[in-house]
Structure 1
Amino acid sequence: MNLGGPSKESEVNDFLLRLFSDGDLIPLPFQKYMAQFIAKRRTPKIIDQYNKIGGGSPIRKWTTEQGTAMEKLLDKISPETAPHKHYIAFRYASPLTPEALQEMKADGVERAVAFTQYPQYSCSTTGSSMNELYRQLQEFDPERKMKWSVIDRWHSHPGLVQAFANKIEAGLQKYSAESRDKVVILFSAHSLPMDIVNRGDTYPSEVAATVHAVMDKLKFCNPYRLVWQSQVGPKPWLGPQTNKAIMGLGEKGHNDQLLVPIAFTSDHIETLFELDLEYGEEAHEAGITGLKRAESLNADPVFIQAMADIVKEHLKETSDKISISKQYSLRCPTCTNETCRHSREYFSDQ
């Protein structure tokens, strides 16, 4: 399960419409009408951005490669649960959740794992995908013949931490030996509206936990900060914003900065356009010549091994136990979304 992205120009408007229609991700007044207005207004701009990174999002390509490599590895390391097959359920672009469920139903799947590709949990990402899965299952499997369990977060898994650490070490090698240990590591994650944060969403703390685990693995070799990108609209969002942090550090004499997309498991528009092109151009114009980015995880073998290990351990743990984690069973303290309650009850009662 992941956000997804349009693979070609003709899919951009529908992608944006689904995204801005999702109250779990971006709560808006008069959501249906505002979503249509915003999507229509933003479509030309977003099409231009995708054209600058090759004409579409690579997230489906990378997700397919990740899933295929993971299932092959799982067949080897967990033969007792083989054969394994991955299905992609994107939230806002094809293949959408109904498409994945249709394929699974046609294949006669009886045991399924909802595996979020957002390592850090948020109600606006994993929570939204789980709510959509719950809604669609009412239609696709009303008799509940398919048994589900949920991997809802894995932000501090040792394999994930090692994969990020490896990418950072490789990124630091791009700097001279004299300046390498002074490079500021900027961990950049997608931001959240503060009203979501303030109702008790665990995302900020889980992203911070990933950052701390990675820096611990690296023996805190460099100064670092956690910053936030992709703010949309005038409402208050979690900060500081990545581009403002880059500029602020540059003004303080920190020319060498290494961006690390810490909440994304593959390249897409937020890395290829926002970090590389948009922020890169802003930094260059401001005279910051040492801004670089660590490579995304994509199909990195260490990362694939981590995914396979996570699923293997999960299948072992859920063979005769409850199908969701204790953290997923707990709603945000001030949550008023009844779908969140129903989806948690649904997946805990397997």
Structure 2
Amino acid sequence: MKKKGVLILNLGTPNSPSVKDVRVYLKEFLNDPRVIDIGRIAQLLLVNLIIVPFRAPKSAKEYKKLFKIGGGKSPLLTYGNSLTSKLKDISSEEFDVELAMRYGSPSMEDVLGEMRLKNYDEIYIFPLYPQYASASSGSTIEKAFKLINKWWVIPEVSVIGQFYSNPIYINCMVNRAKEFELSDYDHIMFSYHGIPERHVDKVYLDGKPCSDHSCEDEINEENTHCYKAACYATSRLLVKALNLKEGSYSTCFQSRLGRDPWLKPYTDHVIENLGKEGKKRILVFSPAFVADCLETTIEIGEEYLELFKEHGGEKIQLVPSLNDNDDWAQGLYEIIKEKVKTI
């Protein structure tokens, strides 16, 4: 029987909320050419001389809040470790499971180095991003192959790709919704992490922009790997499963950085408008995040709540991410098992 190892990966987190550790984390993250794709020299100057020096102190304050909520630890890492432990218990006789972060610790270098010593016949790379984007899944996959490429003995290596429409993932999201009475809310939001518009435009080899490929309405042969198309597809599946009425929900994109156009509509703009329209209570799903983190707990749960109140709203309820829930651990096992079985 072949020896199999699965590496599950998430974005990462600073080692602590100190300005120093946040600065180290941001430098590694934002210097990735798949994250900021403006040419290497321009990127290095922008990130290291402008963005990081000015952003690190502000981000450190936000991470301090997050770590406090997490009992002095990063919730992303806590949930990741717990989820990995549950997966190991479920899959112990079939395949090994390890956790790494694209940026920060535990690093891909360290974890893949440990996996190398176990002499696996097969290694599966599984970025925990439901919707593919070059800046997230693409960067993670590229880094994994670069590291494994240095090995003298290279095992069979496979990627477990995006799962934005997988019924297991959708059902787990619906299970989170069951914790709330949807009729108590004036509007439902599906808020995804934003990316620059040029990132989705680059997906298309025909030279036409994303806006020419019906990404908000359907998945077709051309937009299968378009992040925007995948996000809207996830929203459609959740809308159907939750039996939401047209006009009672929105799909939007958060966390933009810089002045370049990012995917629209922007979450903060949608929230402002909902407040001005007299909406008082909003329920927010974050389908792009499988674990709660800065973008969900702080950005949505605190910053957007404050924005909503400034424009007449009263409450924003964040639906918890899948985190380390038992159904999600079992679901991930099923997704991995299906991939391992078919290759």
Q: Of 102, 110, 121, which residue of structure 1 is paired with 2:121?
A: 110
Counterpart of 1:60 (choices 77, 81, 98) is 77
Equivalent pairs, count: 304
Distance in 1, Cα, partners of 2:245 & 2:291: 25
> Which deviates more from structure 2 when the two are superposed, residues 66-75 or residues 299-308?
66-75
TM-aligned CA deviation for residue 183 of structure 1 = 2.8
Other-structure match for 1:21: 31
Matched, 1:124 2:135: yes
The structure with the largest strand share of the pair is 2
Q: CA deviation at 1:216?
A: 1.4
User: What is the letter of the counterpart of residue 228 of structure 2?
Assistant: P
2:181 corresponds, among 137, 151, 172, to: 172
In the TM superposition, residue 162 of structure 1 has moved relative to its aligned partner by: 1.0
Q: Where do 1:165-314 residues align within 5 Å?
A: 165-172=174-181, 179-180=183-184, 183-200=186-203, 202-220=226-244, 223-314=248-339
SS at match of 1:125: helix
Aligned to 2:3: none
Separation in 2, partners of 1:111, 1:68? 20
Indicate the RMSD between aligned Cα atoms, in angstroms. 1.7
Q: Shift of residue 191 of structure 1? A: 0.3
Residues 1:36 and 2:48 aligned together: yes
Contact preservation (8 Å) 1:189, 1:228:
yes
Deviations 1:147-197 (A, max 9, x none): 211101111111210111121231336xxxxx53x6311001000101111
In structure 2, what is the Cα distance between the partners aligned to 1:172 and 1:25? 38
Structure 1 Cα separation of the partners of residues 15 and 293 of structure 2? 11
* SS of alignment partner, residue 92 of structure 1: strand
For residue 149 of structure 1, what is the aligned residue in structure 2?
Answer: 158
Give the structure-2-normalised TM-score. 0.84
For 1:224 and 1:118, the matched residues in 2 are separated by 23
Task: Confirm or deny: 8 A CA contact 2:305 2:315 kept in the other structure.
Answer: no
Tell me the distance in 2 between the aligned counterparts of 1:273 and 1:116: 23
Q: CA deviation at 1:304?
A: 1.3
Separation in structure 1 between the aligned mates of residue 304 and residue 84 of structure 2, nearest angstrom: 31
Are positions 1:85 and 2:109 aligned together?
no
| In 2: Cα distance, 1:295 partner to 1:257 partner | 14
In the alignment, the residues of structure 2 paired with residue 242 and residue 155 of structure 1 have an alpha-carbon distance, to the nearest angstrom, of: 20
Partner of 2:211 in structure 1? Answer: none
2:56 maps to 1:50: no
Counterparts of 1:265 and 1:13, CA distance in 2 = 25
Match of 1:7? 15
Take 2:38 and 2:181, find their aligned partners in 1: how far apart are those partners? 41
Amino acid at match of 1:7: N
Aligned-pair CA distance for 1:224 = 1.1
Secondary structure of the equivalent of 1:188?
strand
Query: How far apart are 1:57 and its partner, in Å?
Result: 2.9
| Cα separation, 1, equivalents of 2:57 and 2:258 | 17
Q: After alignment, is 105-114 or 244-253 more displaced?
A: 105-114
Q: Which moved more, 1:12-21 or 1:216-225?
A: 216-225
| Distance (Å, rounded) in 1 between the aligned partners of 2:302 and 2:107 | 29
Consecutive unaligned residues of structure 2, counting only runs of 5 or more, are 1-8, 204-224
Measure how far apart 1:221 and its partner are: 5.5
Separation in 2, partners of 1:152, 1:315: 12
Counterparts of 2:250 and 2:91, CA distance in 1: 35
Structure 1 portions without partners, runs of 5+? 174-178, 319-350
The residue aligned with 2:108 is 97
SS of the counterpart of 2:282? strand
Contact 1:117 1:265 in 2 (8 A): yes
Query: In 2, distance between residues paired with 1:143 and 1:70?
Result: 27
Quote the Cα distance in structure 1 between the aligned partners of 2:169 and 2:113: 31
CA deviation vs aligned residue, 1:299-345 (integer Å, no higher than 9, x gap): 11221121011011111111xxxxxxxxxxxxxxxxxxxxxxxxxxx
C-alpha separation in 2, matches of 1:168 and 1:185: 11
Q: Deviations over 1:86-110 (max 9, x none)?
A: 2222111111211111111233333
Instruction: Select 2:148's aligned residue among 126, 137, 162.
Output: 137
Amino acid at match of 1:193: P
1:273-324: CA deviations, max 9, x gaps? 1011111112123231132111111111221121011011111111xxxxxx
CA distance in 1: counterparts of 2:236 and 2:329, whole angstroms:
22
Q: Tell me which stretches of 4 or more aligned residues in structure 1 moved more than 6 Å.
A: none
